[in-house]
Amino acid sequence: MSPFGCWGLPTALLALFCCPGSGEEFEVHMYPEQLVVEPGGSQVVNCSTSCANPNTGGLETTLSKTLIQSKPQWKQFLVSNISQDTVVHCYFSCFGSQKLKSLNVSVFYPPKQMLLKIQPTWVAVGKSFTVECHVPDVKPLESLTLTLLRGKETLCNKTFTGEKNDTQGATATHKGMAHREDGRHNFSCHARLDLRSRGGAIIHRVSEPQMLKVYEPTPDNQMVVIISVASVLLFLFVTSILLCFILGQHWRQRRMGAYGVQDA
Ligand SMILES: *[C@@H]1O[C@H](CO)[C@@H](O)[C@H](O)[C@H]1NC(C)=O
Ligand SMILES: *[C@@H]1O[C@H](CO)[C@@H](O)[C@H](O)[C@H]1NC(C)=O
Ligand SMILES: *[C@@H]1O[C@H](CO)[C@@H](O)[C@H](O)[C@H]1NC(C)=O
Ligand SMILES: *[C@@H]1O[C@H](CO)[C@@H](O)[C@H](O)[C@H]1NC(C)=O
Ligand SMILES: *[C@@H]1O[C@H](CO)[C@@H](O)[C@H](O)[C@H]1NC(C)=O
Ligand SMILES: *[C@@H]1O[C@H](CO)[C@@H](O)[C@H](O)[C@H]1NC(C)=O
Protein backbone atom coordinates (compact mmCIF):
# COMPACT_ATOMS: atom_id res chain seq x y z
CA MET A 1 0.00 0.00 0.00
CA SER A 2 1.24 3.47 -0.85
CA PRO A 3 1.63 5.81 2.10
CA PHE A 4 0.96 8.78 -0.18
CA GLY A 5 -2.60 7.82 -1.11
CA CYS A 6 -4.42 8.61 2.13
CA TRP A 7 -2.71 11.87 2.84
CA GLY A 8 -2.24 13.28 -0.63
CA LEU A 9 -5.74 14.67 -1.27
CA PRO A 10 -6.68 16.05 2.20
CA THR A 11 -3.33 17.74 2.71
CA ALA A 12 -3.40 19.17 -0.81
CA LEU A 13 -6.84 20.68 -0.09
CA LEU A 14 -5.62 21.93 3.26
CA ALA A 15 -2.66 23.57 1.58
CA LEU A 16 -4.92 25.19 -1.02
CA PHE A 17 -7.51 26.64 1.41
CA CYS A 18 -5.59 27.19 4.57
CA CYS A 19 -2.06 28.22 3.94
CA PRO A 20 -1.38 28.68 0.24
CA GLY A 21 2.25 28.86 -0.81
CA SER A 22 3.67 27.61 2.45
CA GLY A 23 5.48 24.33 2.97
CA GLU A 24 6.92 24.20 -0.50
CA GLU A 25 10.51 24.75 0.52
CA PHE A 26 11.56 21.73 2.48
CA GLU A 27 13.89 18.86 1.98
CA VAL A 28 14.09 15.20 2.87
CA HIS A 29 17.40 13.59 3.74
CA MET A 30 18.44 10.09 4.32
CA TYR A 31 21.49 8.80 6.10
CA PRO A 32 23.38 6.87 4.88
CA GLU A 33 23.00 8.07 1.27
CA GLN A 34 24.23 4.78 -0.11
CA LEU A 35 24.27 1.38 1.42
CA VAL A 36 26.06 -1.85 0.69
CA VAL A 37 25.66 -4.85 3.00
CA GLU A 38 26.45 -8.53 3.19
CA PRO A 39 23.47 -10.87 2.74
CA GLY A 40 21.27 -10.98 5.80
CA GLY A 41 22.75 -7.72 7.05
CA SER A 42 21.00 -4.93 8.93
CA GLN A 43 21.45 -1.20 8.94
CA VAL A 44 20.20 1.82 10.86
CA VAL A 45 18.69 4.43 8.56
CA ASN A 46 17.87 7.99 9.52
CA CYS A 47 15.16 9.88 7.67
CA SER A 48 15.00 13.58 8.31
CA THR A 49 13.37 16.70 6.95
CA SER A 50 13.93 20.41 7.09
CA CYS A 51 10.17 20.94 7.45
CA ALA A 52 9.57 22.38 10.93
CA ASN A 53 6.34 20.54 11.48
CA PRO A 54 5.79 17.68 9.05
CA ASN A 55 2.40 16.00 8.84
CA THR A 56 3.67 12.52 8.19
CA GLY A 57 6.88 10.77 7.48
CA GLY A 58 8.27 7.31 7.26
CA LEU A 59 10.19 4.67 5.42
CA GLU A 60 8.78 2.65 2.59
CA THR A 61 10.44 -0.69 2.00
CA THR A 62 9.77 -4.35 1.44
CA LEU A 63 12.44 -5.14 4.01
CA SER A 64 11.58 -5.70 7.63
CA LYS A 65 11.90 -2.40 9.49
CA THR A 66 11.70 -1.27 13.10
CA LEU A 67 11.23 2.30 14.26
CA ILE A 68 13.96 3.00 16.81
CA GLN A 69 13.49 6.69 17.58
CA SER A 70 11.10 9.32 16.38
CA LYS A 71 11.28 13.10 16.61
CA PRO A 72 9.17 15.59 14.67
CA GLN A 73 11.97 16.22 12.18
CA TRP A 74 13.56 12.79 11.97
CA LYS A 75 12.88 9.11 12.35
CA GLN A 76 15.40 6.42 12.86
CA PHE A 77 14.73 2.89 11.59
CA LEU A 78 16.49 -0.42 11.64
CA VAL A 79 16.12 -2.31 8.37
CA SER A 80 17.10 -5.92 8.65
CA ASN A 81 17.57 -9.20 6.85
CA ILE A 82 18.65 -7.52 3.62
CA SER A 83 19.01 -10.37 1.15
CA GLN A 84 18.95 -8.71 -2.27
CA ASP A 85 19.44 -5.39 -4.01
CA THR A 86 16.56 -3.08 -3.26
CA VAL A 87 15.54 0.56 -3.04
CA VAL A 88 14.29 2.08 0.22
CA HIS A 89 12.29 5.34 0.20
CA CYS A 90 12.07 7.91 2.90
CA TYR A 91 9.17 10.40 2.75
CA PHE A 92 7.80 13.40 4.59
CA SER A 93 4.84 15.57 3.84
CA CYS A 94 4.77 19.18 4.83
CA PHE A 95 1.71 21.35 4.31
CA GLY A 96 0.32 19.43 1.45
CA SER A 97 3.41 18.65 -0.50
CA GLN A 98 5.27 15.47 -0.18
CA LYS A 99 8.89 14.72 -0.86
CA LEU A 100 10.82 11.53 -0.90
CA LYS A 101 14.38 10.43 -0.99
CA SER A 102 15.55 7.04 -2.23
CA LEU A 103 18.38 4.88 -1.04
CA ASN A 104 19.93 2.19 -3.23
CA VAL A 105 20.74 -0.84 -1.15
CA SER A 106 23.21 -3.31 -2.69
CA VAL A 107 24.02 -6.71 -1.34
CA PHE A 108 27.57 -7.90 -1.82
CA TYR A 109 29.19 -11.29 -1.49
CA PRO A 110 32.87 -10.83 -0.63
CA PRO A 111 35.41 -13.15 -2.25
CA LYS A 112 35.92 -15.89 0.33
CA GLN A 113 37.47 -18.80 -1.51
CA MET A 114 40.25 -18.22 -3.99
CA LEU A 115 40.86 -21.37 -5.98
CA LEU A 116 44.14 -21.26 -7.88
CA LYS A 117 45.04 -24.12 -10.18
CA ILE A 118 48.15 -24.58 -12.29
CA GLN A 119 48.08 -27.24 -14.95
CA PRO A 120 50.28 -29.15 -15.35
CA THR A 121 52.22 -28.49 -12.16
CA TRP A 122 55.34 -30.04 -13.66
CA VAL A 123 56.31 -28.72 -17.07
CA ALA A 124 59.30 -28.71 -19.45
CA VAL A 125 60.83 -25.44 -20.63
CA GLY A 126 58.98 -24.32 -23.78
CA LYS A 127 55.83 -26.33 -23.07
CA SER A 128 52.53 -24.65 -22.32
CA PHE A 129 50.80 -24.43 -18.96
CA THR A 130 47.64 -22.79 -17.66
CA VAL A 131 46.99 -20.79 -14.51
CA GLU A 132 43.33 -20.56 -13.55
CA CYS A 133 41.81 -18.63 -10.70
CA HIS A 134 38.21 -19.22 -9.70
CA VAL A 135 36.26 -17.29 -7.10
CA PRO A 136 32.87 -18.80 -6.31
CA ASP A 137 29.91 -16.74 -5.05
CA VAL A 138 31.10 -13.22 -5.52
CA LYS A 139 28.92 -10.17 -6.16
CA PRO A 140 28.59 -7.60 -7.69
CA LEU A 141 30.72 -8.86 -10.55
CA GLU A 142 31.02 -5.42 -12.14
CA SER A 143 32.95 -4.27 -9.06
CA LEU A 144 35.38 -7.18 -9.24
CA THR A 145 38.89 -7.32 -10.70
CA LEU A 146 40.86 -10.56 -10.70
CA THR A 147 44.61 -10.33 -11.17
CA LEU A 148 46.93 -13.26 -11.82
CA LEU A 149 50.43 -12.66 -10.59
CA ARG A 150 53.80 -14.28 -11.05
CA GLY A 151 55.77 -13.02 -8.10
CA LYS A 152 54.90 -9.33 -8.15
CA GLU A 153 54.38 -9.14 -11.88
CA THR A 154 50.84 -8.95 -13.30
CA LEU A 155 50.11 -11.66 -15.84
CA CYS A 156 46.52 -10.68 -16.45
CA ASN A 157 43.89 -8.35 -15.08
CA LYS A 158 40.29 -9.28 -15.63
CA THR A 159 37.16 -7.24 -15.04
CA PHE A 160 33.63 -8.54 -15.29
CA THR A 161 30.16 -7.47 -16.22
CA GLY A 162 27.37 -8.74 -14.05
CA GLU A 163 24.11 -9.28 -15.82
CA LYS A 164 22.39 -11.89 -13.73
CA ASN A 165 21.03 -11.52 -10.23
CA ASP A 166 22.42 -14.82 -9.06
CA THR A 167 25.69 -14.96 -7.31
CA GLN A 168 28.02 -16.73 -9.61
CA GLY A 169 31.66 -17.43 -9.80
CA ALA A 170 34.31 -15.44 -11.59
CA THR A 171 37.26 -17.00 -13.40
CA ALA A 172 40.49 -15.62 -14.82
CA THR A 173 42.81 -17.74 -16.94
CA HIS A 174 46.33 -17.25 -18.19
CA LYS A 175 48.01 -19.50 -20.73
CA GLY A 176 51.76 -19.37 -20.97
CA MET A 177 54.87 -21.12 -22.22
CA ALA A 178 57.14 -22.24 -19.44
CA HIS A 179 60.37 -20.29 -19.02
CA ARG A 180 63.08 -21.20 -16.52
CA GLU A 181 62.08 -17.99 -14.73
CA ASP A 182 58.57 -19.37 -14.05
CA GLY A 183 59.94 -21.95 -11.67
CA ARG A 184 61.50 -19.31 -9.43
CA HIS A 185 58.39 -17.36 -8.46
CA ASN A 186 55.11 -18.13 -6.80
CA PHE A 187 51.93 -17.71 -8.76
CA SER A 188 49.01 -16.12 -6.98
CA CYS A 189 45.60 -14.63 -7.62
CA HIS A 190 44.33 -11.36 -6.23
CA ALA A 191 40.67 -10.36 -6.01
CA ARG A 192 39.64 -6.75 -5.58
CA LEU A 193 36.00 -5.87 -4.96
CA ASP A 194 35.65 -2.11 -5.22
CA LEU A 195 32.41 -1.07 -3.53
CA ARG A 196 33.25 2.63 -3.28
CA SER A 197 30.68 3.68 -5.88
CA ARG A 198 28.02 1.94 -3.78
CA GLY A 199 29.03 3.43 -0.48
CA GLY A 200 31.40 0.69 0.62
CA ALA A 201 35.11 0.08 0.78
CA ILE A 202 37.58 -1.94 -1.26
CA ILE A 203 37.87 -5.59 -0.30
CA HIS A 204 41.05 -7.49 -1.14
CA ARG A 205 41.72 -11.17 -1.04
CA VAL A 206 44.76 -13.16 -2.13
CA SER A 207 44.99 -16.86 -2.90
CA GLU A 208 47.53 -19.26 -1.49
CA PRO A 209 50.75 -19.09 -3.53
CA GLN A 210 51.53 -21.94 -5.88
CA MET A 211 54.69 -22.92 -7.64
CA LEU A 212 55.25 -24.34 -11.08
CA LYS A 213 58.02 -26.90 -11.41
CA VAL A 214 59.97 -26.25 -14.57
CA TYR A 215 62.55 -28.75 -15.84
CA GLU A 216 65.00 -28.87 -18.72
CA PRO A 217 63.70 -31.08 -21.49
CA THR A 218 65.92 -34.25 -21.47
CA PRO A 219 65.52 -37.29 -23.71
CA ASP A 220 63.24 -39.75 -22.04
CA ASN A 221 64.36 -43.14 -20.66
CA GLN A 222 63.28 -45.20 -23.66
CA MET A 223 65.35 -42.98 -25.90
CA VAL A 224 68.36 -43.37 -23.59
CA VAL A 225 68.05 -47.18 -23.72
CA ILE A 226 67.72 -47.20 -27.52
CA ILE A 227 70.70 -44.88 -27.91
CA SER A 228 72.91 -46.91 -25.56
CA VAL A 229 71.99 -50.22 -27.21
CA ALA A 230 72.66 -48.70 -30.62
CA SER A 231 76.03 -47.35 -29.42
CA VAL A 232 77.05 -50.73 -28.01
CA LEU A 233 76.02 -52.48 -31.24
CA LEU A 234 77.89 -49.89 -33.30
CA PHE A 235 80.96 -50.34 -31.11
CA LEU A 236 80.85 -54.13 -31.46
CA PHE A 237 80.35 -53.81 -35.22
CA VAL A 238 83.26 -51.41 -35.63
CA THR A 239 85.53 -53.53 -33.39
CA SER A 240 84.71 -56.72 -35.26
CA ILE A 241 85.41 -55.04 -38.61
CA LEU A 242 88.72 -53.74 -37.28
CA LEU A 243 89.56 -57.14 -35.88
CA CYS A 244 88.78 -58.86 -39.21
CA PHE A 245 90.87 -56.29 -41.02
CA ILE A 246 93.85 -56.75 -38.70
CA LEU A 247 93.62 -60.54 -38.76
CA GLY A 248 93.19 -60.44 -42.55
CA GLN A 249 96.33 -58.30 -42.92
CA HIS A 250 98.22 -60.62 -40.61
CA TRP A 251 97.17 -63.72 -42.50
CA ARG A 252 98.01 -62.14 -45.91
CA GLN A 253 101.47 -61.13 -44.68
CA ARG A 254 102.16 -64.68 -43.58
CA ARG A 255 101.06 -66.06 -46.96
CA MET A 256 103.08 -63.39 -48.79
CA GLY A 257 106.04 -64.40 -46.59
CA ALA A 258 105.55 -68.06 -47.57
CA TYR A 259 105.49 -67.20 -51.33
CA GLY A 260 108.57 -65.07 -50.86
CA VAL A 261 110.41 -68.04 -49.41
CA GLN A 262 109.19 -70.26 -52.30
CA ASP A 263 110.29 -67.72 -54.96
CA ALA A 264 113.61 -67.43 -53.42
C1 LIG B 1 19.00 11.94 12.18
O2 LIG B 1 19.35 12.99 11.26
C3 LIG B 1 19.08 14.30 11.73
C4 LIG B 1 19.42 15.28 10.62
O5 LIG B 1 20.71 15.05 10.11
C6 LIG B 1 19.89 14.59 13.01
O7 LIG B 1 19.58 15.87 13.50
C8 LIG B 1 19.53 13.52 14.04
O9 LIG B 1 20.31 13.69 15.19
C10 LIG B 1 19.75 12.13 13.48
N11 LIG B 1 19.31 11.15 14.46
C12 LIG B 1 20.11 10.21 14.93
C13 LIG B 1 19.54 9.28 15.94
O14 LIG B 1 21.26 10.10 14.53
C1 LIG C 1 15.41 -13.35 6.02
O2 LIG C 1 15.10 -13.35 4.63
C3 LIG C 1 15.07 -14.64 4.06
C4 LIG C 1 14.87 -14.50 2.57
O5 LIG C 1 14.32 -13.28 2.22
C6 LIG C 1 13.96 -15.45 4.72
O7 LIG C 1 13.92 -16.74 4.18
C8 LIG C 1 14.23 -15.52 6.22
O9 LIG C 1 13.15 -16.19 6.85
C10 LIG C 1 14.37 -14.14 6.80
N11 LIG C 1 14.79 -14.24 8.20
C12 LIG C 1 14.27 -13.50 9.15
C13 LIG C 1 14.80 -13.71 10.52
O14 LIG C 1 13.38 -12.68 8.94
C1 LIG D 1 20.29 4.19 -7.61
O2 LIG D 1 20.05 3.25 -8.64
C3 LIG D 1 19.53 3.80 -9.82
C4 LIG D 1 19.20 2.65 -10.76
O5 LIG D 1 20.02 1.55 -10.57
C6 LIG D 1 20.54 4.77 -10.41
O7 LIG D 1 20.02 5.34 -11.58
C8 LIG D 1 20.83 5.85 -9.39
O9 LIG D 1 21.83 6.73 -9.88
C10 LIG D 1 21.29 5.26 -8.07
N11 LIG D 1 21.42 6.29 -7.07
C12 LIG D 1 22.52 6.46 -6.36
C13 LIG D 1 22.50 7.56 -5.37
O14 LIG D 1 23.50 5.74 -6.50
C1 LIG E 1 45.30 -4.34 -12.79
O2 LIG E 1 44.21 -3.82 -12.07
C3 LIG E 1 44.56 -3.19 -10.85
C4 LIG E 1 43.30 -2.81 -10.14
O5 LIG E 1 42.31 -2.38 -11.00
C6 LIG E 1 45.47 -1.99 -11.15
O7 LIG E 1 45.86 -1.40 -9.93
C8 LIG E 1 46.68 -2.47 -11.90
O9 LIG E 1 47.47 -1.38 -12.27
C10 LIG E 1 46.27 -3.23 -13.15
N11 LIG E 1 47.45 -3.78 -13.75
C12 LIG E 1 47.64 -3.85 -15.08
C13 LIG E 1 48.92 -4.43 -15.54
O14 LIG E 1 46.78 -3.46 -15.86
C1 LIG F 1 16.56 -9.72 -10.88
O2 LIG F 1 15.79 -9.71 -9.70
C3 LIG F 1 14.66 -8.84 -9.76
C4 LIG F 1 14.00 -8.83 -8.41
O5 LIG F 1 14.26 -9.97 -7.69
C6 LIG F 1 13.74 -9.33 -10.88
O7 LIG F 1 12.64 -8.46 -10.97
C8 LIG F 1 14.51 -9.34 -12.19
O9 LIG F 1 13.70 -9.88 -13.22
C10 LIG F 1 15.76 -10.20 -12.07
N11 LIG F 1 16.57 -10.09 -13.29
C12 LIG F 1 17.17 -11.14 -13.85
C13 LIG F 1 17.95 -10.86 -15.08
O14 LIG F 1 17.06 -12.27 -13.40
C1 LIG G 1 56.34 -19.48 -2.37
O2 LIG G 1 55.39 -19.67 -1.36
C3 LIG G 1 55.75 -20.59 -0.35
C4 LIG G 1 54.57 -20.78 0.58
O5 LIG G 1 54.09 -19.56 1.05
C6 LIG G 1 56.99 -20.04 0.37
O7 LIG G 1 57.38 -20.98 1.35
C8 LIG G 1 58.09 -19.84 -0.63
O9 LIG G 1 59.21 -19.26 0.00
C10 LIG G 1 57.63 -18.95 -1.78
N11 LIG G 1 58.66 -18.91 -2.79
C12 LIG G 1 59.05 -17.80 -3.43
C13 LIG G 1 60.11 -17.93 -4.46
O14 LIG G 1 58.57 -16.71 -3.17
Reported as a single tens digit per residue, the pLDDT across 192-218 is 999 999 999 999 999 999 999 999 887
Q: Closest ligand to 211 CA? A: 6
| CA–CA dist 158, 177 (Å, integer) | 20
HEC readout, 1-58: CCCCHHHHHHHHHHHHHCCCCCCCCCCEEEECCEEEECCCEEEEEEEEECCCCCCEEE
pLDDT in tens, 115-167: 999 999 999 999 999 999 999 999 999 999 999 999 999 999 999 987 665 66
Mark whether 103 and 119 lie in a shared domain: no
Residue 238 lies in a domain: no
Residue ID of nearest Cα to ligand 5 atom 3: 165
pLDDT in tens, 239-264: 888 888 888 888 888 777 655 555 54
Among residues 182, 200, 215, the one where a domain terminates is 215
Residue ID of nearest Cα to ligand 2 atom 9: 81
83 CB under 6 A from ligand 2?
A: yes
Residue 239 lies in a domain: no
Indicate the pTM of the whole model.
0.71
Task: Give the list of residues 6+ apart from residue 206 with CB closer than 8 angstroms, or none.
Answer: 114, 188, 189, 190, 191
Domain count, the chain: 2
Residue-averaged pLDDT of the chain: 86
Residue 241 lies in a domain: no
Q: Which domain holds residue 90?
A: 5-107
Residue 56 lies in a domain: yes
CB 219 within 8 A of CB 231: no
